[in-house]
Amino acid sequence: MAELEIKLNRPSITYPLKIKKGLLGHLAEEIQAVHKGRKLVVVTDDNVAHYYGSQVEANLQAAGYDFEMIVLTPGESSKSIDHLPELYGRLVRFGISRSDLIIALGGGVIGDLAGFLAASFLRGIKLIQVPTTLLAQVDSSVGGKVAVDLKEGKNLVGAFYHPHCVLIDLNVLETLSDKAFSDGMAEVIKYGCIRDRAFFDKVKGAGNRAGLMADIESVLERCCAIKQEVVEADEKDTGQRMLLNYGHTLGHAIEAYYHYERYTHGEGVAIGMLAINQLAEDQGLSPQGSTQEIYQVVKNFGLPTALERPEDYAGILPLIKNDKKNLNGQLHIITLKAIGQAEIRQVPDHFFDPLLEGGSSND
C-alpha cells in the first residue's frame, strides 16, 4: 500500500491519502480511523452504485452505521447548481448535523458535488473522498477544490475544502471502460508535462492501458505526490498551483461550449494541451518538437488530438474570458519551457487567434 500525508500551511489541515487494492471492502474501518460519528451520507451515481453499491451498503450496515445513499444520474449535468436545493433538502430530512459525515463515492463530478455539499451545508461538515475513476484518483480528489457549474461555465461556484482522508482502491479501475480510462490519462500525461520528464517517459513507454496497469500503483502515487507538492506550496491557486491547469484554459471552454455533452473533461484537456502547446511552439514560447512528442502519447492512450469541428473555435474562444486564470483582466496560460517544466505566462487576447484561422491542427 502507498500512503501520502497531505499537509498544508494551516496546521489543522493534515489528512492521509491511501492507495491500495480492496479498500472499499474495508470502508467502515477506514472511516473509523478518522471519524467517530455513526451517521453519514454516501453520494454516488448510478454507474458506481451498480458495481459497488451493494458492497458499500453491506460494509456500512455490518459496522452499524446509520446512513443514506444518494444516487445521482452520471455526468456533468448532475453538477449543476440547480440541483443543490434538492440535495440540501435530503440532508435536512435525513437529519445530518455538523458532527456527521459525507462520503463522495464516484468520479470527478461526484467528488466536486459532494465536496461542495460538505463545504457549504451547515457551514461545513466532514468529508471523505473515495474516487472511483482514474481522473478523480489522480486529480480532483486531491487538493481540496470542490465546485458546481453554472450555465456560463464550469466550476464557477466553489470552495477550497479538504477531506478528512482520500481512499483510492486500485480494484475499481478494472471496471472502467476504455473511454473512462483514457479520460483520466489526460491528467496523468499532464503531470509528466508540467513537472517530471522521467515520469512522462515512463507513461510514454507504457504505451497503452495494459502497459500502464502493470505498474498502476506507482503511477498513481507519483501523480498524487506531484499534486501534493504543488498544493502544499500553493493551496489557494494563486501561483504555482495554476500549473496544474495546463490545457484546462481551452479544455474547460470546449466542455462548456458543447454543454458537457460532446467531450469529456479529459478529452477537452487533451485537445487543450496540444492546441496551446502548438500555439506556444509556433510563437517561440515552447520547444520545437514538444507538441509532436505529447501528441504521440495522447494518441496512444485513445484521446482526441484536435477539435472535430475547428470552425467551432469562433464560439469557444469567447468563453475563455470566464476562466479562473483570467486575473486582473489579463489572461494567463500554462506553457512548457520543456516537457517536465511548466510556467505561468500572461498572453494577449490575440494569442488564440490562429485557431480561428485553422492553425494549430494536430491531426
Question: How many beta carbons lie within 10 A of that of residue 238, not counting itself?
Answer: 9
Q: Is 111 annotated as a binding residue?
A: yes
Residue for cell digits 475547428?
310
**Exposure letters 321-351 (e unless 16+ CB within 10 A, then b):** ebbbbeeeeebbbbbbeebbebebeebeeeb
Amino acid at 321: K
End-to-end CA distance of the chain: 40
Q: Is 133 annotated as a binding residue?
A: yes
Q: Is 269 annotated as a binding residue?
A: no
Q: Is 201 annotated as a binding residue?
A: no
Asked if 250 contacts 277 with a C-beta cutoff of 8 angstroms, the reply is no
Q: Is 154 annotated as a binding residue?
A: yes
Q: Is 108 annotated as a binding residue?
A: yes
Q: Is 148 annotated as a binding residue?
A: no
DSSP letter for each residue of 45-68: EHHHIIIIIHHHHHHHHHTT-EEE
Cα–Cα distance list, 238 to 210, 244, 304, 324 (Å):
37, 12, 30, 10
**CA-CA distance, 60 to 66, in Å (whole number)?**
8
Burial (CB count within 10 angstroms: exposed 0-12, middle 13-18, buried 19+), residue 188: buried
Q: What is the 8-class DSSP label of residue 171?
A: G
Q: Is 175 annotated as a binding residue?
A: no
Q: In terms of residues, how long is the chain?
A: 363
Q: Which residues are known binding-site members?
A: 108-112, 132-133, 145, 154, 187, 248, 265
Q: Which residues are known binding-site members for NAD(+)?
A: 108-112, 132-133, 145, 154
Q: Which residues are known binding-site members for Zn(2+)?
A: 187, 248, 265
